[in-house]
Amino acid sequence: MNYPIDQWIELKSFETYREWKTPRGFLCGTYASSVLLAYWQDQLDEGCIPKGLRKKGSDQNEELIHALQPLLQPIDFPTVPLQISLGLNHFFRRYRIPYRARGTAAGSWQRVTKRIMAGEPVMIGLLQLLGSSYKNHWVVVHGFMETSDGQKFYKIHDNWGKSAAVIPATWGNGTISLVSQRK
């Protein structure tokens, strides 16, 4: 894939979701999913979230969280890509929304660069085992950069209040992206 080196490739700002923080006692997979869906609704397709769960452009996500949590995290165990993608697909089927979530179990760079270049954010899992200072965590990537010396970075919304944190891409393992099924 061709993209400029030493330059950020980014989507529109994620400042709208800056205050969308994972409350203590809740898990990050549901909150990162709500940010992913809200961005899609605000920037790409208003119909990806049912009207009663969130209004386009709103800074509120409580109703969306309450609809997602029982599907993505029915019991408070940490989530893996398969669980998030299955839960989101259940959400889409329940509300008859013509979308599906695609998950990958390992790596992230290829999926992230492809989706960002297409104008779409991507959720990624971060692993403590790979060096993540966030430990095991879900975030939404909205930018990437590769330097001339081969280092790779992501710009993320981390659902702990940072809407433009920069992390090494090596921390990422597993992705969730959305695909429209509209004809």
Determine contact, residues 127/136, Cβ cutoff 8 Å. yes
> Residue 13: its pLDDT value, please?
76
Tens digits of residue pLDDT in 98-135:
999 999 988 899 999 999 999 999 999 998 888 888 88
Determine contact, residues 177/123, Cβ cutoff 8 Å. yes
> Residue 182: its pLDDT value, please?
77
> Residue 164: its pLDDT value, please?
85
Determine contact, residues 51/63, Cβ cutoff 8 Å. no
- The 3 state secondary structure assigned to 57-119 is CCCCCHHHHHHHHHHHCCCCCCCCHHHHHHHHHHHHHHCCCCEEEEEECCCCHHHHHHHHHCC
User: CATH topology for 9-180?
Assistant: Cathepsin B; Chain A (3.90.70)
Tokens of 95: 């509300």
pTM confidence score: 0.93
All residue ranges of the chain with pLDDT < 50 are none
- The secondary structure element, H or E, covering residue 30 is helix 28-39
Calpha distance 168→60 (Å, rounded): 30
> Residue 19: its pLDDT value, please?
81
Q: How far is CA 90 from CA 62, 94, 99, in A?
A: 19, 6, 10
Give residue limits of the domains in the chain.
9-180
> Residue 26: its pLDDT value, please?
65
- β-pair partners for 151: none
Q: CA 114, 155, 138: angle at the middle one, nearest 5?
A: 85
Number of residues written out for the chain:
183
